[in-house]
Amino acid sequence: MGKQRDGFEKATESYFQFHPQEVMEGPVNKKGNPIKIGIPKELNPDEKRCALRPGAVSLLVNNGCEVFVETNTGRHINHSDTEYADAGATIVYSHKEAMEADIVLKISAPTIEEISYMKQNKAIISAIHMRELKRDVLDTINKKKITALGFELIEDNVGGLPLVRAMSEIAGSTVMLIAAEYLSSYNGGKGIILGGITGVPPSKVVILGAGTVAEYAARTAIGMGAEVKVFDNAIYKLRRLKKELGLPHLFTSAFDSTSLTEALSRADIAIGAVHTHGTRTPSIVTEEMVAVMRENSIIIDVCIDQGGCFETSEPTNHRHPVYKKHGVIHYCVPNVASRVSRTATAAISNIFTTILNKLIDEGSVDTMMRRHPWFTKGVYAYRGNITNQALAEKFDLPLKNLDLILAAGI
């Protein structure tokens, strides 16, 4: 494989040596002009995070970029327009101006209106929200030949998902604090404490999945004194989790319906933390299994942005975060990390800054894609083509091989 990739890279580099104009076309300015980066204010009222902090803006400006920040973008993370301006950003007073940059950085998935503001052949990096993405948004992206990347799909150079991991760490820690709120009598809960006290049995937590969200949720729950059970079909993940937590006797199990149903019937809290890369999360807990859970117990489905792993899960938002079904409280907010927007922004900003500095070094988005496959994994639309298999299948659209497109210079 290594030799084949080397040969492929040599072929593509040779092609672009003879087609220099095509290398420089696309979502960046021609060489010699600074790359313009746009940071629009989020239109989603439930999204409080921001793509870049003022410190990151300063680094990018010093590296030769022009950064355009829409006014009041940082209001939810306690950063003023003055701080962004002092960092070297140009403050713009309309959404359209921020969206007209060479590269747009957002948190929420773009709307049709936002895409309509963008210029032809530019680039946008944002969330995809696979479950909620509409066909007309995708059609508008392709019509304008925009290069669109989902930040949750961008890998690092060892195959990890840096932004997903960072948000998962935050979400895992945060969900147990949310659960504690909804256990309280004043929120319609069971009126019990998360954990336990001397002489009183601890609360029982069931976690589905053994990845990053599960690790941080389990760490928080155990630290508060709760009894935790973790389910996952990947035995190596369960083994790793026990090692990471330093708890060789932690209860772990595969997704056996009998064992899982029994655990859920006794649980005070159930956390859905199953992550699938680029596809819909399978429904692991059936409605019948939810029906056996105790009255006013809590389900928090962290993977709702990928479809959710509870059959009874439906997306909610921070303004109306919960609903009841079969007497069970369901919390199914997709962007849990937005509750702690300043912390989440710091993590996102660090990752975006690393990616953008590398992109600046390469000179264009096209060159970045040809030389760094980990970055290319995030591309779901390129110059009118769908390059993500899950999206192609969802909308019954032809899937194009991005490597071949780049090699051909289409």
DSSP calls for 96-118: HHHHTSSEEE-SSPPPHHHHHHS
Superfamily of domain 2-150+340-408: NAD(P)-binding Rossmann-like Domain (3.40.50.720)
pLDDT number for residue 32: 64
pLDDT category, 158, cuts 50, 70, 90? confident
Of 377, 387, 363, 402, nearest to 26 by C-alpha is 363
Helix axes 341-362, 162-183, angle to 10 degrees: 170
Alpha helices, H only, 135-194: 135-143, 162-183
Q: Is the dihedral of CA 159, 4, 358, 95 positive or negative?
A: negative
Is 349's pLDDT higher than 60? yes
Q: Which residue has the higher pLDDT, 128 or 144?
A: 144
Task: Classify each residue of 358-387 as buried b or exposed e, where b means 16 or more C-beta atoms within 10 Å of its C-beta.
Answer: ebbebebbbbbbbebebbbbbbbbbbebbb
Backbone angles phi, psi at 400, to 5 degrees: -110, 140
Domain boundaries, the chain: 2-150+340-408, 169-334
Q: Is 102 a catalytic residue?
A: no
Calpha distance 97→226 (Å, rounded): 50
Is 24's pLDDT higher than 80? no
- Ranking 75-79, 153-157, 257-261, 295-299 by mean pLDDT, the lowest is 153-157
Active site residue: 81, 102, 268, 305, which one?
305
pLDDT number for residue 157: 82
Arithmetic mean of pLDDT, 49-72 = 97
Task: Write out the two tokens for 348.
Answer: 């996102």
> What count of Cα atoms within 13 Å lies in the side-chain half-sphere of residue 220?
21
Asked if 58 and 88 touch (Cβ cutoff 8 Å), the reply is yes
pLDDT number for residue 249: 93
Q: What percentage of the chain carries pLDDT values higher than 90?
A: 80
pLDDT category, 2, cuts 50, 70, 90? very low
Q: Is 305 a catalytic residue?
A: yes
Rg (CA), the chain: 23
Residues near 258 by beta carbon (within 8 Å), at least 6 away in sequence: none
Q: What is the overall mean pLDDT for the chain?
A: 90
- Find where tokens 């009041």 sit: 72
Is 29's pLDDT higher than 90? no
pLDDT category, 5, cuts 50, 70, 90? very low
Residues in the chain: 410
pLDDT category, 21, cuts 50, 70, 90? very low
Q: Is 347 helix (H, G, I), strand (E, B) or coil?
A: helix
Active site residue: 76, 129, 326, 372, which one?
129
pLDDT number for residue 87: 98
Asked if 260 and 289 touch (Cβ cutoff 8 Å), the reply is yes
Q: Same fold for the domain at 2-150+340-408 and the one at 169-334?
A: yes
Q: Which residue has the higher pLDDT, 410 or 111?
A: 111
pTM of the predicted model as reported, rounded to 2 decimal places: 0.85
pLDDT number for residue 130: 77
Chain segment 204-223, per-residue pLDDT in tens: 999 999 999 999 999 999 99
pLDDT number for residue 132: 78
Q: Which residue has the higher pLDDT, 2 or 271?
A: 271
pLDDT number for residue 282: 86
Best CATH choice for the domain 169-334 from the list 3.30.230.10, 3.40.50.720, 1.25.40.10, 3.40.50.300 = 3.40.50.720
Calpha distance 286→406 (Å, rounded): 44
